[in-house]
């Protein structure tokens, strides 16, 4: 089974004071630490688990600068066979452009499965996997929490709202966007790091991919990024049940909520 897994290096924004940059369209990232996107971490592990069970190859692919090779080397260290970095140069990247870049490379690779994370920690759009499936002409499923390939199809579990799961079959080849919790990503071992240094890491420049100007034109325009407004603390309502209920009704009425 040949598997391609798409990964991304993202800034850690938890528990830090974010600042808007000079353009007003992004946050300052110079002082932020970077890690593999959480959802992609599970996708990498699932690709390696399937490769170990069924044989074949696992290829990790990312879009970014030389610094972004960090996530590819991690994928190689945990068991991926090879890695590819697409150098976008000065391109403006949105979900559409990213999906076209990935499509142009993946379409020429052997693949029974293409795995992505459900979304990325930085923009949380969750669109790349589905658009990539459309470009590749693959059947697809999103928010996948279980995969069991068998022959030319796979049984998959998909997380639904309300804590429910859907179990269905999907024809291979297919693209699946992987949800966190599908597995337990392994730690990178010293032996894995040593082996990773001997595996192939290929770099492709965007100008060599043969894409058209339309392929590389963003469909999403960010007009402004802003921090959420500060709000006052919670109001604590005290008293017996009747008093509390009356106060809640009064507050809702003042805010124009129909009771």
pTM of the model: 0.85
Q: To the nearest whole percent, how much of the chain has pLDDT over 70? A: 99
The mean predicted confidence, pLDDT, of the chain is 93
Q: Which residue has the higher pLDDT, 192 or 144?
A: 144
Domains and CATH numbers, the chain: 3-208 (3.40.50.620)
Does position 123 have pLDDT exceeding 90, yes or no? no
At residue 258 the predicted structure's pLDDT band, cuts being 50, 70 and 90, is low
Q: Which residue has the higher pLDDT, 258 or 191?
A: 191
Written as one string, the DSSP assignment of 130-187 is HHHHHHHT-EEEEEEEEEEEETTEEEEEEE-GGG-EEEEEEESSEEEEEPTTSS-PPP
Does position 259 have pLDDT exceeding 60, yes or no? no
What pLDDT does residue 86 have?
A: 98
């Amino acid at each position: 089974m040949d598997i391609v897994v798409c990964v991304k290096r993202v800034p850690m924004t938890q528990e830090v004071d974010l600042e808007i940059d000079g353009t007003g369209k992004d946050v300052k990232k110079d002082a932020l630490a970077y890690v593999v996107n959480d959802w992609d971490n599970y996708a990498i592990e699932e690709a390696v688990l399937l490769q170990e069970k069924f044989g074949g190859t696992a290829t990790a692919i990312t879009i970014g600068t030389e610094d972004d090779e960090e996530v590819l080397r991690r994928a190689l260290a945990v068991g991926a066979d090879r890695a590819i970095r697409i150098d976008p140069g000065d391109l403006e990247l949105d979900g559409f452009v990213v999906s076209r870049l990935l499509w142009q490379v993946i379409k020429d690779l052997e693949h029974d499965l293409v795995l992505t994370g459900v979304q990325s920690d930085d923009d949380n759009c969750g669109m790349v996997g589905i658009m990539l499936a459309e470009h590749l002409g693959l059947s697809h499923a999103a928010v996948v929490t279980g995969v069991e390939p068998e022959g030319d199809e796979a049984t998959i579990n998909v997380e639904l709202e309300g804590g429910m799961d859907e179990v269905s079959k999907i024809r291979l080849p297919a693209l699946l966007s992987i949800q966190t919790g599908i597995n337990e990503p392994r730690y990178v071992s010293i032996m894995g790091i040593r082996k990773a240094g001997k595996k192939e890491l290929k770099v492709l420049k965007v100008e060599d991919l043969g894409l058209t100007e339309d392929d590389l034109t963003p469909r999403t325009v960010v007009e402004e990024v802003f921090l959420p407004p500060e709000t006052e603390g919670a109001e604590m309502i005290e008293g017996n049940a009747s008093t509390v209920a009356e106060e809640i009704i009064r507050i809702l009425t003042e805010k124009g909520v129909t009771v």
